[in-house]
Amino acid sequence: MDRMRPLEGAERMARPLLAIALVALAACGGGGGGGPPERLLDGSRPQALPAALRSLGGHAVVTKARIVSVRDADPRLRACIRRFAPLRVPARTAVVERTGLLSASVTFEVGTCVYGCDATAGPQELPGPWCGGETGRTDLARFDPRVDILCKDVEKRPVGLAWVEPVAGARYVVVREHDYAEVYEAASGLPVRVATHNVGVETSSATFSIEQYDSLGRRLSRRRLRAAVAG
Amino acid sequence: MRPTLRRPALAFAVSFALALSLVYAGGAWGYHTHFVVNNCNTNSPQPSSTFTRDGSITVALIGRYEGYQWGGGCWNDNNVDDSPGDPTEDPNTGGEGGDCSGFTFKVWREAEYGGDAGAYLWNKLRDVHGPYTADRFKAGYGAPNVTYYKSGLIRMDALASNTHIGMIYTHNADGSDQIIEAKGEAYGTNLWTRTYRGDSSYGGVRRLGWTG
């Protein structure tokens, strides 16, 4: 779990949003050649693909994930939490922060609900730097991915966002896009917020091509998740 | 004695298995009413230059008694839930009715694209949910939607929490409201007296652009 580096580098997530958008613009430009963009949404370079996932090839991009506590929340995380007022979030609550090519997110759990906020390179929802937020219940018989299709990329194309529950034994969740794949590492037992460009505005839905792998790189599941905005 | 005992036991086992299979078969029939497949369409909405709060009440009352479907947005007008008992939180069951945000989207005549503040008349049998969740409505997201102070809310404004939204039908003298809402599979879509206005988890939301 050295890739997670818990509680380190909090200042990175606090970068001014303008910088993120500018770098994302550059990253999107870099992706025009058919391969994956060279930079993550925050401008950083993706880490090397874990050896266990070498079979995914050169078009797989490793997203960043780290765990912070609410006690150490930066302004962005605090803005997200305020969005759910009057929710009270205990200081010890673990928050998973993710940064990928299309999106950044935070996810945390309080009681029987999972909460999260999403950021993309497109317009933000006021207040705060986030383009959206979501609440999902964990006490239901069927897991609700809380799909969102209102966030947009730097070219104002809709970005679909959803929570994916890692299957038993899964360490990596991989979401395949047309010409690249994003690799998300499972963390803190929380659902993983993933992104896609495969959005159907007319059907209020998004479709995700998802594979899950264990720490040895064995594929545990492969599915096409077509999830609709609901509730 | 043993053979005599075995026969009733075998008969019981066969009967039990048969009964069990019928129970599951019944459940399966109930699960898939195919309401959306058999009744709904994907026709384009009609842009509307005028739309009033009274008009939207009419739209809302058509949806009354027509059930509830997670992620849904299609219903007829026969005052019966044609897909009762669908498994909850499953948008793929294709049953009749809207969910809370889909119902609000259609009654408020909103656009599929969040940046479009125009008004669109959606046919009751048009299967559409729209891009907003209750949480998004609560945040006032989308070109035609704003957050609004709760004491100033009037008819056909809405009260939304992170997980639910309902529209005001009338404001009661005791401070409560008659709310028209798609409440859940077990409750359907109807009018209820609610105290959302006094509940801190609910915020006020207004759709802009009414012409009357």
Dihedral over Cα of B178, B143, A195, A62: its sign: negative
In the prediction, which pLDDT does B30 show? 47
Q: d(Cα B68, Cα B181) in Å, to the nearest integer?
A: 10
In the prediction, which pLDDT does B88 show? 85
In the prediction, which pLDDT does A216 show? 98
Residue A228 has pLDDT above 90, yes or no: yes
Residue type, B168: I
In the prediction, which pLDDT does A42 show? 94
Question: Which chain B residue has its CA at the smallest distance from A227's CA?
Answer: B91
Confidence (pTM): 0.84
Probe site for chain A from B103, B145, B162, B164 (most A CB atoms < 10 A): B162
The pair of structure tokens assigned to B52 is 């009033």
Task: Show Cβ contacts of residue B3 under 8 Å, excluding neighbours closer than 6 positions.
Answer: none
Each residue's pLDDT tens digit, B88-103: 888 888 999 999 999 9
Each residue's pLDDT tens digit, A154-199: 999 999 999 999 999 999 999 999 999 999 999 999 999 999 999 9
Residue A19 has pLDDT above 50, yes or no: no
**Cis amide prior to A127 (ω within 30 degrees):** yes
The pair of structure tokens assigned to A139 is 């006490």
Q: d(Cα A114, Cα A167) in Å, to the nearest integer?
A: 17
HEC-encoded secondary structure of A183-222: EEECCCCCCEEEEECCEECCCCEEEEEEEEECCCCCEEEE
Each residue's pLDDT tens digit, A52-96: 999 998 899 999 999 999 999 999 999 999 999 999 999 999 999
Residue A2 has pLDDT above 60, yes or no: no
In the prediction, which pLDDT does A123 show? 83
In the prediction, which pLDDT does A143 show? 86
Residue A27 has pLDDT above 60, yes or no: no
pLDDT above 70: percentage of residues in chain A: 84
Residue A2 lies in a domain: no
Chain A residue numbers touching B104 (CB-CB < 8 A): none
Residue keyed to tokens 């019981």: B12
In chain A, the number of structural domains is 1
**Is the CB of A230 less than 8 angstroms away from the CB of B112?**
no
Q: d(Cα A108, Cα A119) in Å, to the nearest integer?
A: 15
In the prediction, which pLDDT does A131 show? 94
**Is the CB of B133 less than 8 angstroms away from the CB of A149?**
no
Residue A131 lies in a domain: yes
Residue A61 lies in a domain: yes
- Cβ neighbourhood burial of B23 (10 Å; 0-12, 13-18, 19+): exposed
**Is the CB of A204 less than 8 angstroms away from the CB of B112?**
yes
Dihedral over Cα of A37, A40, A45, A50: its sign: negative
Q: What is the mean pLDDT of residues A23-28?
A: 40
Residue B15 has pLDDT above 70, yes or no: no
Judge whether B193 is closer than 8 Å to chain A, CB to CB: no
A145 alpha carbon, distance to own chain's centre:
12
In the prediction, which pLDDT does B166 show? 98
Residue A3 lies in a domain: no
Cβ count near A88 (within 10 Å): 8
Residue A35 lies in a domain: yes
The dihedrals phi and psi of B30, each to the nearest 5 degrees, come to -65, -35
The pair of structure tokens assigned to A81 is 């939490």
pLDDT tier at A225, thresholds 50, 70, 90: very high
The CA-atom distances, in angstroms, between A162 and each of A147, A207, B111 are 5, 9, 22
Across chain A, mean pLDDT equals 86
Each residue's pLDDT tens digit, B107-127: 999 999 989 999 999 999 999
Each residue's pLDDT tens digit, B44-88: 999 999 999 999 999 999 999 999 999 999 999 999 999 998 888
The pair of structure tokens assigned to B10 is 């075998």
Q: How far apart are the first and last CA of chain A?
A: 35
pLDDT tier at B43, thresholds 50, 70, 90: very high
Judge whether B134 is closer than 8 Å to chain A, CB to CB: yes
Q: What is the mean pLDDT of residues B186-192?
A: 97
In the prediction, which pLDDT does A148 show? 97
**Is the CB of A141 less than 8 angstroms away from the CB of B89?**
yes
Chains A, B: CB contacts within 8 A come to 78
Helical segments of B1-83, H only: 2-31, 35-39, 53-63
Q: d(Cα A142, Cα A122) in Å, to the nearest integer?
A: 31
Q: Which of A10-14, A201-205, B86-90, B190-194 has the lowest mean pLDDT?
A: A10-14
| Most confident listed range (A84-88, A142-146, B13-17, B64-68) | B64-68
By three-state DSSP, how is residue A109 classified?
Answer: strand
Probe site for chain B from A120, A126, A150 (most B CB atoms < 10 A): A150
| Cα maximum dimension of chain A | 46
The pair of structure tokens assigned to A48 is 């090397």
Residue keyed to tokens 């993550």: A40
**Is the CB of B70 less than 8 angstroms away from the CB of A146?**
no
Residue A1 lies in a domain: no
Residue keyed to tokens 């058509």: B62
Residue A185 lies in a domain: yes
By three-state DSSP, how is residue A159 classified?
Answer: coil
- Cβ neighbourhood burial of A38 (10 Å; 0-12, 13-18, 19+): middle
Residue A70 lies in a domain: yes
Q: Can you give the residue range of the structural domain that contains A198? A: 10-228
